[in-house]
Structure 1
């Protein structure tokens, strides 16, 4: 080995050692409460209050579970008939805020189901800008009965289901991954693979404020009072900022690696902490006031590819994680914080 090669090798080893020692290794064997839903999922979602969980598996079966009892409350598992091939597979889904209904999006329409009765309430056509576009994000509300739809051509629809009114605007240049309403319902929020997070008027759909990232958004989470937002791009930009106030409040997450991948996220109820999921079987807890990492924790996993699909926090200071293996774990945030001090 030449002298130059030796120097490069030593430098590389030192960089690896520095990186490993600077990073908090995920902890294992945590004392968590564990719920097994007995179904895997490629997509998953908690209800707004964390009482229900939805899993959509690779075979296109979708089920709604009661977290406390593990009971399967609703299931959509019938294969798509050949005569209805245009329907396609499930693209997105959303539980209503009162847990009474679920919206299930296919290529260019959405079915709305009554969860308790297992009854199809209606089918809603969506309106893309590109005729080949597909549904990519949903948010269902029952008070009032509104459906927000994002499509992979960058279009957003606001559908008033009671009055059969439709508003449409092309707000993004690529796939929409997140849509939501503000607490008062006057402002709508969307985020897309074009790196844009937008606030727009619910009546006119005119953009009121925007936040730009250099790359596509991979995860996004609002605080419980909807005032703060966490967003992450596909490389190394992760920010917490104020949505509606005029003051600039911007915190960036701090870590020693060049980049991290963030898949899911949730603020604690008191907004002091932020939990983020990774592309692997572990998650990270952060101080949301300064962006410093508190600790990282492995989830229970059966498969080597297990990852967190969704996260939810409640007023008891607890975090729920929903994994692709169908496990729900309950974590006490204060215990984790004190354990790292």
Structure 2
């Protein structure tokens, strides 16, 4: 009987795969032939900032693949831990182990270098986040401490909300609140400049993915094994949980697709999945276009509710027609 059940499940799996729509529109741009270690879209999706395998930092125009600005190689303090482009594309922030370099993109000029430390004297920078108005900067450290810097007043508050490296940070739209996620499995909401959490969620394993919806109402969090939750950003209440047949899935990147009820996630390998996040239903998993083995998605951009654009570690921009899944 168990063999018959297994065969039945296998048949259903084949039917599901056979009926799965193809949503990729293909690779639209190749930004670089060098592998990308870190990469982010600008808020409007027109630019990308990358750290490549040659330890070079470039800002690209995604439409024609031209380089808008490159950080001079002799000004890059290696190893680079993070690169961050402001929402208005005026400011580029580069993080070394203990130093933040702030560049003016229009002037292509270094504005300032600012050192940051953790509680441990050996701590180094592990993550960055900049508020939408460019006034507040979060600098997370790998000892679990966090710097909350006000770029206008030049004041910095440091506290230690985690016991392991903080790898995920996200502001709300106002810049008054933010969430953290770390290797200790803890996710928490904070008010800027306050060391008291507004809520906390303790996961069993390290947090591997964290993202906030465009309207600031929802928060998606995944741990390193089998807990993937959609939360209400303000209250922390769990709204749904992703459901799948596999024993576990690894979630590396995630993005809410605005006004569609859909969530996109990427794996640690070359896979992209789409979900209905209110029900947790998986609509399908697709392989991204790659040139090298092990390439994966490094960032996503949603230009409209019908479309998703991915940037992968091979430097490729790929467009996805997620509106095909609307009636699925």
TM-score (norm 2): 0.90
Q: How does 1:136-285 map to 2 (within 5 A)?
A: 136-141=126-131, 143-245=133-235, 248-270=237-259, 272-285=261-274
Q: 1:12 to 1:136 in 2, by over 3 A?
A: farther
Which deviations, in whole Å up to 9, do the C-alpha atoms of 1:245-282 show, x marking residues without a partner?
Answer: 47x34211111100011111100111500000012212
Among 261, 286, 302, which residue is 2:275 paired with? Answer: 286
1:335 matched to 2:324? The reply is yes
> Where in structure 1 are there 5+ consecutive unaligned residues?
1-6, 82-86
Post-superposition offset of 1:13:
7.7
Contact 1:19–1:257 under 8 Å retained in 2: no
Contact 1:271–1:288 under 8 Å retained in 2: no
Cα distance in 1 for residues equivalent to 2:100 and 2:295: 29
Which deviations, in whole Å up to 9, do the C-alpha atoms of 1:126-146 show, x marking residues without a partner?
Answer: 121111111111123472522
> Where in structure 2 are there 5+ consecutive unaligned residues?
none
Cα distance in 1 for residues equivalent to 2:130 and 2:101: 11
Residue in 2 that maps onto 1:44: 39
Which deviations, in whole Å up to 9, do the C-alpha atoms of 1:169-204 show, x marking residues without a partner?
Answer: 101111111122221222121111111111112132
Q: How does 1:99-118 map to 2 (within 5 A)?
A: 99-118=89-108
Cα distance in 2 for residues equivalent to 1:336 and 1:14: 28
Give the count of matched residue pairs.
Answer: 326
Cα distance in 1 for residues equivalent to 2:191 and 2:23: 47
Which deviations, in whole Å up to 9, do the C-alpha atoms of 1:88-120 show, x marking residues without a partner?
Answer: 310112111111111110011100111222211
Q: What RMSD over aligned residues (CA atoms) do the two structures have, in Å?
A: 2.7
Residue in 2 that maps onto 1:325: 314
DSSP-derived class of the 1:334 partner: helix
1:75 matched to 2:70? The reply is yes
TM-score (norm 1): 0.87
1:302 matched to 2:296? The reply is no
Higher alpha-carbon Rg: 1
Q: 1:73 to 1:242 in 2, by over 3 A?
A: same
Contact 1:294–1:337 under 8 Å retained in 2: no
Post-superposition offset of 1:212:
1.6
Which deviations, in whole Å up to 9, do the C-alpha atoms of 1:290-320 show, x marking residues without a partner?
Answer: 0101112221111122111111213353111
Cα distance in 2 for residues equivalent to 1:116 and 1:273: 36
Cα distance in 1 for residues equivalent to 2:203 and 2:17: 27
Contact 2:209–2:223 under 8 Å retained in 1: yes
DSSP-derived class of the 1:159 partner: strand
Cα distance in 2 for residues equivalent to 1:29 and 1:141: 33
Cα distance in 2 for residues equivalent to 1:44 and 1:291: 28
